[in-house]
Amino acid sequence: MRTMGKEVDNKFTWVIKNFSSQQSTKIYSDEFFVDGCKWRLLAFPKGNGVEKLSLYLAVAGGEFLPDGWRRHADIHLSVVNQLSEELSLTRETEHLFDASTCDWGFASMFSLKKLHDKDGGFLVNGELKIIVEVSVLEVIGKLDVPEECEETTKSLSKVDDNDVPEESEETTEALSKVVENDGAESNDSLKEASSVKESMDVNGFRVLPSQVETVSCIFERHPDIASEFSPKNQHLRSAYMNVLLSLIKTMCQSTQELSKDDLSDADAALAYLTDAGLNLNWLEEKLEEVSEKKENEEAGETRVHEIEEELKELKLKCSNLEAQLGKEKANVSVARAPFSFDDVV
């Protein structure tokens, strides 16, 4: 039996029924395809080591892809408020998926307390709605296709079903996830040829062509960044570099887009990179500046709210005073009016 994935443009909606009753530590969505790549969502209903909903995008069947595969993608994950879309929470990240990091997302995606608020709008009739938007930037290695295209695939790629297990499932302890494969191969050789690009070397790091300029700039400004970097494995080096690029991209967001959880994740990512030997004192200082700006923003928002409330009270007081002033002027006008002859006589 094979798992059929759903072909989507770049957006996939996952409705988790009876979310509050979920007993599993982690749950997976159905598989879906974006730009010929097969994905699925991974959620931890009770949090992945934190009191928050943990949510990730995962490459489906990644362990069955050829050695050296990579997928570079921009990701938008949204927890939908079903009463008011304006209250939905969306977080963005970018990641270079490979054999060492088959999933990526947010450990602290959303507060479980807010999520389970009966009037919050996130759980309606026990259902939680999650939307992911995936933009595949570059692919190294073979693409996947939906199962219904398999016969066409065989004639194009001459791959026999026996080359790949029809139904497989393994537990990878180090990554704490279960991955599956349906044996599908690409049915569009032209698309595959145009999507597959070679990685390039920048100061000992294999990066995608779209990352060369950014990584080169980092080394130009901070030439000693990797002078004590210990990992030698190219996959690990690329993974660390991708985390660094994602961290920098996060820090370039406005404070309005950044939450305290984002900054906490950024701090953890910085510690992760520093422990590996990257010299990131300059980035640590910038992260402190961003955190300070966030605190200033929150303090400013609080003060703005207080001033607005004070202004409302003053406006109401002014309105009442104006009404009182009008009455007093009318009384004065009456008092000033002289008696007429008829009034006196």
Per the structure, the complete domain to which residue 255 belongs is given by 198-345
pLDDT digits (tens, 9 = 90+) for 276-333: 899 999 999 999 999 999 899 889 989 999 999 999 999 999 999 999 999 999 999 9
Whether 25 contacts 178, CB under 8 Å:
no
Same domain, 232 and 131: no
Same domain, 184 and 287: no
Same domain, 243 and 321: yes
Task: Give the CATH number of the domain where residue 189 resides.
Answer: 2.60.210.10
Per the structure, how many domains does the chain have?
A: 2
The residue with tokens 């990584």 is: 215
pLDDT of amino acid 57: 96
Whether 40 contacts 55, CB under 8 Å:
no
Same domain, 255 and 276: yes
- Residue 76 sits at the vertex; the CA angle it makes with 74 and 77, to the nearest 5 degrees, is 140
Same domain, 48 and 120: yes
User: Looking at 129, 161, 196, which one is the last position of a domain?
Assistant: 196
Those residues of the chain that have pLDDT short of 70 are 1-8, 144-198
User: What does the alpha-carbon distance between residue 180 and residue 233 come to, in Å, rounded to a whole number?
Assistant: 26
User: Looking at 175, 196, 217, which one is the last position of a domain?
Assistant: 196
Same domain, 175 and 290: no
Same domain, 158 and 242: no
User: What does the alpha-carbon distance between residue 143 and residue 124 come to, in Å, rounded to a whole number?
Assistant: 37
With a threshold of 0.75, does the pTM exceed it? no
User: What does the alpha-carbon distance between residue 91 and residue 126 come to, in Å, rounded to a whole number?
Assistant: 23
User: Looking at 196, 226, 255, which one is the last position of a domain?
Assistant: 196
Say how many residues make up the chain: 345
Same domain, 84 and 224: no
Same domain, 105 and 217: no
Same domain, 131 and 169: yes
Same domain, 54 and 83: yes
pLDDT of amino acid 81: 95
pLDDT of amino acid 144: 67
Same domain, 69 and 185: yes
Whether 168 contacts 184, CB under 8 Å:
no
